[in-house]
Amino acid sequence: MTRATLTDVLTPALAQGYAVAGVVCLGWEDARAYTRAAELEGLPIILQAGPGARAHMPISVWGAMFGELAESVSVPVVSHLDHGTSLEDCAAAIAAGFSSVMFDGSALPLSQNIARTAEIAEMAHAAGVSCEGEIGYVGYADGAKSRGTDPEEAARFAQETGIDAMAISIGNVHLQQEKHQGLDCNRLAAIEALCDIPLVIHGGSGVPVRERQDLARMSKICKFNIGTELRMGFGAALSHVMSEQPAEFDRIKILGQTEEALVALTRPILRALKP
C-alpha cells in the first residue's frame, strides 16, 4: 500500500474511537518488525524517525526505508518525522518522502510556537503532508520537567496553527522505563471540551496498557508514541542472541534474530489500541 498521512489514519480513529501507535524506529530491523506486526494485526502504524535516529542515519535514508516498508504491506503506514526542531528539519523530511512531520516548538513562548508551527503546517499541507504540533511541554525521565498543557492555550494553538494533530502534556513523560500512576484525566477533559483535533500522547511507554486501551476508546487521544518499551524489548532480544551465540560475529545474522521477538512484542501493543 502506498504511504498514508497522519490525517488518513487519525481521522477515522477519532470518529470510531481507537488510536494508532507511533513507534520510534532506530534501524531497519526494528522498523521492519513493527511493520510486519501491523500487517499481521491488520492495523495502521506510524513509523517515526526522531532526533536520535536522524543523528545516526540521514533523513533521506529514513524516507526511502519507510517508503519501501509502506509498499511492502497492505495496511496504511505513515512515515513521520518526530520532534522536528526547525522549518529546515521539516522541509528536509518532506523532500525525503515523509508523509507527516511534527514540529516541536513546545519550549518556545506561546506566540512563537503558534507562528512557527503555523508556518510549517502551511508548508506541509501545500506538499500533501500532515503536521503535528505540541503545546505544553512533555518532560523526560531523569531530565527536564514537564509543563502541563493549558486548555485555553491548547484551543488557541489548534485553531491558529491549522495542525492535524496536537501533542499534549497531561502527566506523560518521555523515556519512562516503568508504567507510572496514570495521566491527568481532569486536564484531558478540559482540553477535549475546547478542542476537536486528534490528540497525541508522547511518552506512551510510561502509560499503563489498560489506560492506553481505555483512552483510545473513550477520549480524543488518537496516537500514542511508543519508544522506550520497544527499545527495551530489542535490547533484551539482542542480549539473548549474544548470550546464546557468543561466537557469532555477523551483524546481519545477529540483528536478524531479534526481529521475531520484536514482532511478538509489538502485536499486543497495537492490538490494545484497536477499535
Residue positions annotated with a catalytic role:
82
Phi, psi values for residue 138, rounded to 5°: -90, 115
Give CA–CA dist 120/115, Å, rounded.
Answer: 9
Which residues does residue 226 pair with via DSSP β-bridges, in sequence order? 23
Residues whose CB falls within 8 Å of the CB of residue 72, separated by 6 or more in sequence, listed in order: 35
Dihedral sign (CA 189, 194, 199, 200): negative
Give CA–CA dist 120/133, Å, rounded.
Answer: 9
Angle between helices 259-271 and 28-41 (to 10 degrees): 50
- Other CB atoms within 10 A of residue 148 CB: 15
DSSP label at 1?
Answer: -
